[in-house]
Amino acid sequence: MGTALSPRPLLLLALVSAAVVAACDASSTDGGGTTGAPSPATTPTAPKPPPTGPDDAPPVSDPLTSPDVTCSGAAGSFYSFTLQTLTYKEPLPTCRFEGKVLLAVNVASQCGYTPQYAPLEALYQKYKAQGFYVLGFPSNSFNQELGDEKEISQFCADEYKITFPMFSLANVNPPDEQPLYTWLKAQPGYGAAIPWNFEKWIISKKGQVAKRIAYTTSPDDAEVTAAIEAELAK
């Protein structure tokens, strides 16, 4: 037969066990004191602040990244054309730009006005979230464009980081004029020939010519930005 424990050791053992349980309960209640970390489950999550301005607005659907969107424009309208993108020759119907404000510009890589590429890209970045696009049309009508479309594309990417849509090389005056430019100059009051590279056309959300701006005017000039903002506000 074993030796029975005296009541005194049993009492001490019970007191120690009770102290351990109390300490564990206290730790789970107050997060472990000054040395423990709160449980992830009890950490409050701050609510996401509501949108405060245009930068927080939902992204505008992009005609360039929605190739599954089919559309057609009324015959004779701005939205009735199909353009070929630079280098890759992918067809892009202009009807995808319906409801957008556009700035169409004939560009060239070896012109005294070629540095206008920089403010053109800045305009695009500034207003694109509001549904604005710059449309670039490389042209050798004035013998100042590179002859190879891959060279044009590489030049625009390397020198000016261009991200706005660029289209295939074409003339903006006869002969063999880009059909879209034939349409632009057929609009009442806008029939004069394109005089030089970087002539600018602002197209409204309804596909109408809103303003024609001379090539000598920089894209960041107040005349250009005011016209864009006026059309975006409509």
Domain extents in the chain = 98-232
Q: What is the mean pLDDT of residues 87-96?
A: 86
Which of the 8 DSSP states describes residue 217?
S
pLDDT of residue 143: 97
Maximum distance among all alpha carbons in the chain? 121
pLDDT of residue 90: 82
Please state which CATH class domain 98-232 belongs to. Answer: alpha beta
Q: What is the pLDDT of residues 118-142, one digit of tens each?
A: 999 999 999 999 999 999 999 999 9
Residue 27, pLDDT above cutoff 50: no
Distance CA 203, CA 232 (A): 11
- Give the catalytic positions in this structure: 111
Residue 14, pLDDT above cutoff 70: no
pLDDT band of residue 68 (cuts 50, 70, 90) is: low
Residue bearing the bigger pLDDT, 136 or 31? 136
Average per-residue pLDDT for the chain = 82
Residue bearing the bigger pLDDT, 12 or 113? 113
Phi, psi of 92 (to 5 degrees): -135, 105
Q: In what order do the strands lie in the sheet with 101-107?
A: 132-138, 101-107, 200-203, 209-213
Residue 75, pLDDT above cutoff 50: yes
Q: What is the pLDDT of residues 142-200, one digit of tens each?
A: 999 998 999 999 999 999 999 999 999 999 999 999 999 999 999 999 999 999 999 99
Which range among 67-71, 75-79, 80-84 shows the weakest confidence by mean pLDDT? 67-71
Angle (nearest 5°) at CA 202 between 199 and 203: 135
pLDDT band of residue 67 (cuts 50, 70, 90) is: low
Residue bearing the bigger pLDDT, 14 or 74? 74
- For tokens 């880009």, name the residue: 178
pLDDT of residue 45: 52
Question: Is the peptide bond prior to 175 cis by the omega test (within 30 degrees of 0)?
Answer: yes
The structure's pTM equals 0.73
